[in-house]
Structure 1
Amino acid sequence: MAIRFSSVLSKTKQILTKNQQIVPKGYIPVYVGEVEADKKRYVVPLSYLSHPVFQDLLQSVEEEFGFNHPMGALTIPCTQQTFFHLTSKLKY
């Protein structure tokens, strides 16, 4: 199953329009956390979207949530420790 980048990017544009928080050009906001109350917002480089490890993570997110995320940005349901471990291995 391929990740639909156009869907992710169009949702990001909607989020940026609705949300007054500034996201630098070339980055995307994501919420990370397993429990709603523990989710934290991070801004990651768009280049992560093309990395195979990150694509696997996005695929699992799509299967669980689709691309309708109630937090207003892409939601990644994993621990912050797991997210940091994964992103520390990515080069952008």
Structure 2
Amino acid sequence: MQEDKKMKVKKGWLAVQVGSEDEDGECQRFVIPISFLYHPLFKRLLEKAHEVYGYHTTGPLRLPCSVDDFLHLRWRIEKESNHHPGALSFHSC
């Protein structure tokens, strides 16, 4: 039962898997708002995911960047949406 609750994602949110298996042998799961999918910085990461994994993959959406880079990207998107829209460039991941 506990695992079922962990796997469920609320409406309006999306589970993603971040990290390369090179790092520590594991990827980390995050839940992000669907609105991230429309953000220009996140769209660049999705394009890279397409280059690396293609469109037809099994399982959750995998993002090809380190957990640290993803956390930084998430922080930048949240900061921009709360304070300074339109002034960021994406360089990592």
With structure 1 as the length reference, what TM-score do the two structures score?
0.71
1:89 maps onto 2:73 in alignment:
no
Give the 4+ runs in structure 1 shifted more than 6 A.
none
User: Matched residues, percent identical?
Assistant: 35
Name which one, 1 or 2, has greater alpha-carbon Rg. 2
Residue number among 9, 13, 16 corresponding to 1:30 in the alignment: 16
Q: Deviations over 1:11-48 (max 9, x none)?
A: xxxxxxxxx41101100110001117320111100000
- Give the Å deviation of 1:69: 3.0
- Gaps of at least 5 residues in structure 2 are 82-93
- Gaps of at least 5 residues in structure 1 are 1-19
Instruction: Count how many residue pairs are aligned between Structure 1 and Structure 2.
Output: 73
- Give the Å deviation of 1:68: 2.7
Q: Deviations over 1:60-85 (max 9, x none)?
A: 11011112334x10001211000000
Aligned alpha-carbon RMSD (Å): 1.9
8 Å CA contact 1:31–1:74 kept in 2: the answer is yes
Task: Return the structure number with greater relative CO, CA threshold 8 A, min gap 6.
Answer: 1
Q: Quote the Cα distance in structure 2 between the aligned partners of 1:65 and 1:88.
A: 25
1:50 maps onto 2:38 in alignment:
yes
Partner of 1:39: 27
